[in-house]
Structure 1
Amino acid sequence: MNDVEIPLTVFIVDDEPPARNRLKDLLTDCAEQLPLKLVGEAGNGHEALDKLSEVQVDVVLIDIRMPKMDGIELALHLNKLPKPPAIIFTTAYDVYAIQAFELHAVDYLLKPIRLGRLFEALTRARSALPLPIAKLQELAPEPRKNLAIHERGKIHLLPIEQVLYLRAELKYVTVRTVEREYLIEESLGALEKEFAARFIRIHRNCLVAKDEIVGFEKVVDEKSGDSHWTVNLKQLNEMLPISRRQQFIVKEFG
């Protein structure tokens, strides 16, 4: 069997049942000329992540505007799967977003979706590379609401409001909540830029949630006699050191 005969596996994500049904009808028509198989659907991003952690697919058709998690954030999380699927966005509006997709060579379908356009997008998806995370983040209208945590072969969504601090260690970033620590493979600098409204840098390797800061304490090293400031957190009995470069935050929050 050659590659052309291998069915393209497709998954649909849209919060509107009529839109999913239309896509299913169009995919049935496309299947007459292009070998493909619809392997599932979801009505929101959380449901999609649960299902796509269990089954590997070639293409995911994602509506951009969805409640709780928009399509771009979902694509960012899917991009961290061991074998990320090709992403085709669908949208009923957002002309500015369409222009951005064209600029970054991200495929999109404008609703109402036409058969010919869908067929064209699916054909290109066979050889499509995963979307660069940096490009997706440029298109995101606002910061993610969740961080994607990979554990035991699954993706778990951790709400960003539960994160107390982020600390870089080697190639990982430790994500600290009240209950425990998680590890993610992301750049601390990129996280600082994306979540600037929520976190402040206290050290070259540490970002702290601004709302968690309840005070500061000066600690003196008994051996050297040197002193440095630490951050006291609301929900965690842990003293985080502040670097000399970042000591201005003591006055800023004081």
Structure 2
Amino acid sequence: MDVGKKIRLERIFNRATERTIIVPMDHGVSVGPIAGLENMRNAVDDMVAGGANAVLGHRGLVRCGHRSEGQDCGLIVHLSASTSLSPTPNAKILVGTVEDALRRGADAVSVHVNLGDETEMQMLRDLGEVSDKATSWGMPILAMVYARGPKIKDEFDPEIVAHCARVGEELGADIVKVSYTGDPETFGRVVDGVCIPVVIAGGPKLDSTQSFLQMVSDSISAGGSGLSVGRNVFQHKNRVRLVEALSKVVHQDETVEAALKYIGE
């Protein structure tokens, strides 16, 4: 592996566990300034205080307070965008470059692909082009790959999720983010199908902290490398404490019960 890429990945992954807690904060483009992200500086400060390994956002947010007053935190700049106001919200387009992310101090870039969408061809081409450019700069890529389109009956189907993960790997991603399949056995097959770290997405806000922590714990037991979750983290009523609890589950293999007790639930 290129030494520059290796150094940058070490800013995103815990060196001891080779796992990560990434908190995406790119929602402002897709759905606006939702609860928890009204003040980006406060949001980033809280994630860093809890022990998140990295935060993820669009390039314009870097100036709004990526660097916390506390300890440092990895920065992933998201290069894809679409809005919920569009007639084709699943069609992602590139709105940034690897070079711009480097200028802003990024440790990695991310690209979003929705397999099954009518514009899948363009998104796959974009991921391939970004991968080529990132390789030349020693910049890691996180590929967010989901199955969303007219032919997709169940985006959580294990075979479909495994396909998503494999697409990310084969097109050059260093980390792939996919939906959780619902149980450790099937998710283990997703992880086994690639040779790069697999992190889980959070999806819609879950109905309880316990169900969220259980999902994270089960994914780790299946061989996953952590999480890249937004709303279920930054919208939690005690989000700093939650990130601290997640760190115990992801990096210390604590039980869900112990993590819940730590949060006070």
Fold-level similarity (TM above 0.5):
no
Larger strand percent: 1
Q: TM-score, normalised by structure 1?
A: 0.30
